[in-house]
Amino acid sequence: MEIKRERIGTGTADTGGGPVDPRKLRVNTLDSHELLRGAELLGPSQPATMDGEELERYVHERVLTTTLEKAVAWGRSNSFFPLAFGLACCAMEQFQAAGPRLDIARFGYEAFRASPRQADLIILAGRVSIKMAPIIRRLYDQMLEPKWAISMGACCSSMGVFNNYALVPSDKFMPIDVHVPGCPPRPEGLMHGILKLRAMVQDDPDAGWRERYGARGTEEIVPGA
């Protein structure tokens, strides 16, 4: 194998091998002036530059601008960490949503966390009895902001099939963002609800739930003396 050595040169006085071709040096080809002048389209020695509409289109095709809130909201909405929390029959359909056919991992939500401190989405899957309601409230309080809640199924959204002494609709003790109807909702139904939440989070990047629900004044520790 023959090795051909080529002297490229560094742009100093020691040129040795002739004029330096700026395109051979990687740092030169990334020169922004060259880029904007359309050097790669028009050739290195053309004096013409792009301007106006052509420049705008050139930039639009290659550069993305956004606000910080939108970028953060996009990141948050595509990586919910649901809390591994199943109460009753809806939990079985939640498993199926995490199963191979309707794969919740396609959307990025497969990281079910056991600890509420690490989760940001609580999916109430099943009926909430009066004994369980304060515990769920405690779990919701332990979650860190920003946090969202989905009420899956008819039993926790309204009372469902059982309108009796033993159940509590989840709206009574915690703010819910999306109610998913069904008894139990199909995995596709649950997915529709989660994607609706994703759209909500992307549109409305205000993350604090107290602002969303007008709940200032319900804090446990009241600031100020």
Site residues (vs other proteins, CB under 8 A): 84-89, 91-93, 95-96, 98-101, 114, 116, 126-127, 129-132, 135, 139, 155, 157-159, 161-167, 169, 171-172, 175-176, 179, 183-184, 186, 212-214, 219-225
Q: Which residues contact 12 (CB under 8 A, 6 or more apart)?
A: none
Of 66 and 118, CB closest to other proteins: 118
In angstroms, the CA 100 to CA 91 distance is 16
d(CA 122, CA 173): 14
In angstroms, give the least distance from the CB of 166 to other proteins: 4
Cβ neighbours of 180 (radius 10 Å): 26
Closest to other proteins by CB, 169 or 193: 169
Q: Which is nearer to other proteins, 41 or 215 (CB)?
A: 215
Query: What does the alpha-carbon distance between residue 153 and residue 194 come to, in Å, rounded to a whole number?
Result: 13
Taking the complex as a whole, the smallest distance from the CB of residue 69 to other proteins amounts, in Å, to 19
Residue where the block lists tokens 């469902």: 160
The residue (of 39 and 124) whose beta carbon lies closer to other proteins is: 124
CB of 221 to other proteins, least distance (A): 5
Q: Smallest gap, in angstroms, from Cβ of residue 109 to other proteins?
A: 15
Tokens of residue 77, six digits: 């909405």
Shorter beta-carbon distance to other proteins: residue 25 or 84: 84
Q: Three-state SS string across 134-178, please?
A: HHHHHHHHHCCCCCEEEEECHHHHCCCCCCCCCECCHHHCCCCCE
| Three-class secondary structure of residue 68 per DSSP | helix
Q: How far, in Å, are 61, 145, 194, 208 from residue 148 at the CA level? A: 35, 9, 10, 10
**Of 65 and 163, which CB lies nearer to other proteins in the complex structure?**
163
- In whole angstroms, the minimum distance from the beta carbon of 75 to other proteins comes to 23
Q: Which residues of 18-47 are buried (b: 16+ CB within 10 A; e: fewer)?
A: eebeeeeeeeeeeeeeebebbbeeeeeeee
Minimum Å distance from CB 167 to other proteins? 6
Instruction: Compare residues 80 and 94 and give the one whose CB is closer to other proteins.
Output: 94
Q: How far is the CB of 222 from other proteins (least distance, A)?
A: 5
